[in-house]
């Protein structure tokens, strides 16, 4: 799986949009971008994933650049409960069993997002 680069920490005011960037310049054509978050020692929580089109669900939006070398996770109206470490992960997704590619997630250090009142 390709590596990602994220800022170690970010602050956001409550009620404002939180925009979390991720660089993945070596991403392959068959790799998706996944976002998870971990709220203080709880199990990592799946947020969203995408390949090349922008994606939105009830939790967040994912914007992927046209060259797919970077992406941004957007929490539209951050609350105090969104304070967490956010992990950007790139990985193969699909039914094809790619040789040498394992199914596990590779976590980096992520971005610690602090939402402040």
Q: Report if residue 44 touches another protein, rule: CB under 8 A.
A: yes
Among 5, 26, 79, 101, binds another protein (CB under 8 A): 101
Q: Report if residue 53 touches another protein, rule: CB under 8 A.
A: no
Nearer to another protein, 7 or 108 (CB): 108
Q: Report if residue 94 touches another protein, rule: CB under 8 A.
A: yes
Characterize the bridge pairing of strands 45-50 and 31-38. Answer: antiparallel
Q: Report if residue 43 touches another protein, rule: CB under 8 A.
A: yes
Give the span between the Cα atoms of 28 and 21, in whole angstroms: 19
What phi and psi values does residue 116 have, to the nearest 5 degrees? -115, 145
| Contact predicate 110/10, CB 8 Å | no
Q: Report if residue 108 touches another protein, rule: CB under 8 A.
A: yes
Among 40, 58, 95, 117, binds another protein (CB under 8 A): 95
| Contact predicate 85/115, CB 8 Å | no
HSE-up of residue 90 (Cα within 13 Å, Cβ side): 23
Among 41, 66, 67, 117, binds another protein (CB under 8 A): 41
Helices first, then strands: H and E counts in the chain: 0, 9
Residues touching another protein: how many (CB under 8 A)?
Answer: 27
Interacting residues with another protein (CB under 8 A) = 34, 38, 41-46, 49, 87, 91-98, 101-109
């Amino acid at each position: 799986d390709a590596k990602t680069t994220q800022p170690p920490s970010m602050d956001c005011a409550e009620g404002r949009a939180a925009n979390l960037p991720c660089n993945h310049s070596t991403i392959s054509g068959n790799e998706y971008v996944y976002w998870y978050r971990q709220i203080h020692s709880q199990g990592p929580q799946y947020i969203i994933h995408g390949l090349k089109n922008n994606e939105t669900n009830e939790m967040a939006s994912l914007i992927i650049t046209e060259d797919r070398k970077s992406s941004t996770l957007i929490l539209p109206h951050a609350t105090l409960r969104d304070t967490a470490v956010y992990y950007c992960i790139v990985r193969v997704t699909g039914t094809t069993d790619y040789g040498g590619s394992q199914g596990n997630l590779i976590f980096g250090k992520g971005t610690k997002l602090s939402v402040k009142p």
